[in-house]
Amino acid sequence: MHTDLWNFALNLYARPGVEVACLQWQDHGGDVCLLLCVAWLGERGVTPDESRLQALRSLADVWQDEVVKPLRSLRRQWRTAALQDLPLASLRDQVKGLELAAERMLLERLQALSEGWATNAEEGTDWLPLLTSPDTRLHHDARHVLRAAMQMTQDADDGV
């Protein structure tokens, strides 16, 4: 069953091990929204394509740099101080909410960009190898965790 990218991302992210893998990916410079998007594209049967990936990257890079990363940086900067300052902790939670909203908007934009891309279940649909990480072991581990979680989701959808 295919769903929109946001709900796919929420479902996949909630699977065991996926949150940790995604946060490690992010800590090593990877874009989690882009990672979840290519997993979604593969799940939908969209054939991997380097030029399409570049279009997704271009869109994601600008949004990450101008919107998501500044919010994340501010939230992280306030982490320690917010432990001792309840009003700041409340403000930090609001920033966290804005960060999540910004990521949702990015996923919606990535979905809109890829909306018309044809699906073909006959061809390979694994987009994950097209993404690279500075740490190749991390790259492999994150892909493995996502694939396993996606398989669990598919098995649940199939009633297995």
Q: Give the model confidence (pLDDT) of 131-145 as tens digits.
A: 865 555 556 677 777
- Residue 94: how many other CB atoms lie within 10 Å: 11
Q: What is the pLDDT, as a whole number, of residue 153? A: 56
Burial class from Cβ neighbours inside 10 Å (0-12, 13-18, 19+) for residue 116 reads exposed
Evaluate whether 35 touches 5 at the Cβ level (below 8 Å): no
Q: What is the per-residue pLDDT for 65?
A: 97
Q: Looking at 8-17, 23-32, 45-54, which range is the least confident one?
A: 23-32
Pick from 136, 118, 132, 149: nearest CA to 31: 132
Residue 133's domain comprises: 5-158
How many domains does the chain fold into? 1
**pLDDT (tens digit, 9 = 90+) per residue, 64-76?**
999 999 999 999 9
What does the pLDDT read at residue 10?
Answer: 95
Residues 6+ positions from 148 with CB-CB distance below 8 Å:
17
Q: Over pLDDT 70: what percentage of the chain?
A: 85
Question: Which ranges in 64-121 belong to alpha helices (H)?
Answer: 69-77, 79-84, 86-114
Q: Is the CA virtual torsion 71, 79, 12, 47 positive or negative?
A: positive
Confidence bin at 128 (pLDDT 50/70/90): confident
At residue 45, what are phi and psi to the nearest 5 degrees? 90, 20
Residue 100 CA to residue 109 CA, distance in Å, equals 14
pLDDT number for residue 1: 45
